[in-house]
Amino acid sequence: MATPVVRVHDVEVGYGATPVCPPVAFTVDAGRAVALVGANGSGKSTVLKTVLGLLTPLAGRVEVLGRPVDEREPEFRREVAGVLDDDAYFPALTVAEHLYLTARGHGVLDARDRVAELLTEFGLAEHAQALPVALSSGQRRRLLLAAGFARPRSLLVLDEPEQRLDRGMRARLAERLRAETAAGGAVLLATHDAELVREVCDAAVHIDDRAVEHVTADEAAARIARVVL
Ligand SMILES: Nc1ncnc2c1ncn2[C@@H]1O[C@H](COP(=O)(O)OP(=O)(O)OP(=O)(O)O)[C@@H](O)[C@H]1O
């Protein structure tokens, strides 16, 4: 059997010594998308940061592509693209320069073409020469997401990618993510968007302070829609 892209073994996550949720266990295979769902503060972002190697697990083990996570390893950084909920920009680089730098930094040879495609797809073409400060919050979010797609990757980790996106952009993002898994990529995302879960994900993990439950994507979407979360 193929090695999962992500394997989370009974992992406790948190800040300091206290876990923020019960132990979490799940896998994400190549060509699959898994959603983390749960109420605000349930621990989704903390799990994602742990998978990205930005936090050390308090217990258990996280493996990406069969190896323990170490974000300092070039191989890990080559394979894993993360888009978190932090506005991390170079203030003096334009939109196009951000995307170009990301693509070239990861060895993309036809970076100019890739950037042109992404600018169009993410509705940023008119703002290609703008600095981040001159963008709306939704446009800055589009830029961050586009940067995630500007580089090669086996695993895409997204924290609430739907945030601040309008309906049209959410639909294009769902399409993009379906193409990602169809091409063999793995996607792990935290979300409060029922449609995104239903349209993109193969499975979901529902986190709350009492239990971590594996549910189908439809069940996760139904829970979000019923405002159970
Ligand atoms: N840097 C931090 N230091 C200490 N505690 C934190 C830190 N970041 C988050 N927490 C706490 O960890 C818990 C889980 O937060 P987390 O951000 O993982 O939740 P979430 O499920 O992603 O929530 P949301 O849906 O609101 O994004 C919360 O109680 C939060 O207050």
Q: What is the ipTM of this complex?
A: 0.98
Q: Both tokens of residue 225? A: 């829609």
Ligand 1 atom nearest to 47, measured from its CA: 18
Among protein residues, the one with the nearest Cα to ligand 1's atom 24 is: 40
Cβ of 46 less than 6 Å from ligand 1: yes
Q: 153 CA to middle of ligand 1, Å?
A: 26
- Say whether pLDDT at 213 is over 90: yes
Domains of the chain, start order: 4-88+153-228 (3.40.50.300)
Among protein residues, the one with the nearest Cα to ligand 1's atom 28 is: 41
Average pLDDT on 81-104 reads 91
Which residue carries 């003096």 as its tokens?
Answer: 92
Look at strands 33-37 and 186-190 and give their pairing: parallel
92 and 56 Cβ atoms separated by less than 8 Å:
no
Tell me the per-residue pLDDT of 127-185, one tens digit each, with 9 for 90 and over: 999 999 999 999 999 999 999 999 999 999 999 999 999 999 999 999 999 999 999 99
Amino acid in the structure at residue 129: Q
Q: 45 CA to middle of ligand 1, Å?
A: 7
Residue 207 burial (CB count, 10 A): 25
**Length of the chain as a residue count:** 229
Which helix (H) or strand (E) segment holds residue 82: the answer is: strand 80-83
> 105 in helix, strand or coil?
helix
Distance of CA 66 to the CA centre of its chain: 19
